[in-house]
Amino acid sequence: DAGVIQSPRHEVTEMGQEVTLRCKPISGHDYLFWYRQTMMRGLELLIYFNNNVPIDDSGMPEDRFSAKMPNASFSTLKIQPSEPRDSAVYFCASSSPLGGPYEQYFGPGTRLTVT
């Protein structure tokens, strides 16, 4: 299995631009999580989906952030407009309770820099 795939791996953009991060979970996993990691705040859960349905988006910082999961093999996290404080590493993770309770498999992350 290829594991969780994220793209792009690095993104540099200017303030005000739209940013779209992409994730392909492990086939068969029915949970998908988006996290943000910074030195100051550590690893924060932004939103997660179960069977393509958003379950908890309480971690989404503000309306500039949105996430979708149109099918079981693809999810996007969009930031519009982006701000310098959005600079962080964004991780996608997937899991399946069938494989054991809640062990999560992480992608390699997307390092976002907003200038």
Distances (CA, A) of 70 to 50, 82, 86, 97: 12, 23, 24, 21
Q: Does 102 bind another protein (CB under 8 A)?
A: yes
Q: Does 8 bind another protein (CB under 8 A)?
A: no
- Torsion of Cα atoms, 2 then 4 then 85 then 59, to 10°: 180
* Interface with another protein in residues 72-101 (CB under 8 A): 91, 93, 95, 97, 100-101
Taking the complex as a whole, how short is the minimal distance between the CB of residue 70 and another protein, in angstroms?
A: 21
Burial of 51 (0-12, 13-18, 19+ CB in 10 A): exposed
The one-letter code for the residue type at 101 is: P
Taking the complex as a whole, how short is the minimal distance between the CB of residue 23 and another protein, in angstroms?
A: 11
Taking the complex as a whole, how short is the minimal distance between the CB of residue 52 and another protein, in angstroms?
A: 15
Q: Does 56 bind another protein (CB under 8 A)?
A: yes
Contact 110, 8 (CB under 8 A): yes
User: Contact residues for another protein (CB under 8 A)?
Assistant: 4, 31, 33, 42-43, 45, 48, 50, 55-56, 91, 93, 95, 97, 100-109
